[in-house]
Amino acid sequence: THFGFRTVAEEDKEKLVKHVFSNVAENYDYMNDAMSLGIHRLWKDHFVAKLDPGKRPGGEPLSFLDVAGGTGDIAFRILDHAARVHGDTESIMNIVDINPEMLAEGEKRSKQTAYKDGSRLNFKVQNAETLDAIPDNSQDVYTVAFGIRNFTNIPKALETAHRVLKPGGVFCCLEFSKVNNALFDTIYQQYSFNVIPLLGQILVNDRDSYQYLVESIARFPSQTKFAQMIEDAGFTLAGNGYEDLSFGIAAIHTGVKL
């Protein structure tokens, strides 16, 4: 690549991603906090507040699908929001991830939540590109947070998101994006390429996984290009389709299946 790092062949990417997340599963929150100075929690809170999930009065319980759901961070926030804001204690959550170790961590953490009896949670090992176990037109909301840039074939995953959502269903994605301020971008690039791999090395003795994370962020398309990809998969965008968070370090993209 132009950063001088090893280029990952497409067919190797899936294996590499599995390795990265198996390595980081246990230290996941610790490293997220260290790298983002805790800001990832605020982004996730905002992501869920903006989505405003939950069964509405007189409506049917909903089926949520959190893809690349890993440790359940987004899934539990969604169910908490639904209960707190909409009094919804019936809707169910499907948490899928390609990595069984990340899912196992999520299942373990679910025992510390209000959903510990498991009746409203389904954990499934699934590849986002195919979601074999998720029927067509079956989900009300599809969320993916800090997952999609790791997928080998992003257009295929977006088409699959469109397939599994019901008409009227909402696709909502939180992902690292492109910084929209030139001065800040210079600082951010320095931090990403110099500090993050070093933090990985010092804190969890794993420089390579964090080097991969930084590279995957740099490779991910811009806000407008990604919005176009969502549209190409058949979704209708709300406005320009995205909202920048923290100068575009992250962005939320939203699309509706009409």
Q: In angstroms, give the least distance from the CB of 250 to ligand SAM.
A: 11
Return the closest-CA partner of residue 129 out of 102, 159, 165: 159
99 counts as binding ligand SAM under rule CB under 6 A: yes
Element (H, E) at 49: helix 39-51
DSSP code at position 195: I
Contact (Cβ atoms closer than 8 angstroms) between residue 31 and residue 200? yes
Measure the CA–CA gap between 220 and 146, rounded to whole angstroms: 11
Total binding residues toward ligand SAM, as defined by CB under 6 A: 20
Distance CA 1, CA 73 (A): 32
Based on the shown chain and the rule CB under 6 A, indicate whether residue 134 belongs to the binding site for ligand SAM. Answer: no
Cα separation, 131 vs 160, in Å, equals 7
The answer to whether 110 contacts ligand SAM (rule: CB under 6 A) is no
Q: Least distance in Å: CB of 121 to ligand SAM?
A: 15
Which of 110, 127, 211, 223 is in the footprint of ligand SAM by CB under 6 A? Answer: 127
**Cβ distance to ligand SAM smaller for residue 69 or 255:** 69
Would you count residue 150 as binding ligand SAM (CB under 6 A)?
Answer: yes
Residue 111 is encoded by which pair of tokens? 């025992």
Does residue 101 contact residue 19 with C-beta atoms inside 8 Å?
A: no
102 interacts with ligand SAM by CB under 6 A:
yes
| Window 178 to 197, contacts with ligand SAM (CB under 6 A) | none
- Examine residue 95 and tell whether it contacts ligand SAM (CB under 6 A): no
Q: Which of residues 130 and 181 has its CB atom nearest to ligand SAM in the complex? A: 130
**List 73, 88, 140, 215, residue binding ligand SAM (CB under 6 A):** 73
Spatial CA neighbour of 171 closest among 250, 226, 253: 253
In the complex, which residues of this chain contact ligand SAM (CB under 6 A)? 17, 21, 68-71, 73-74, 97-99, 102, 127-129, 145-147, 150-151
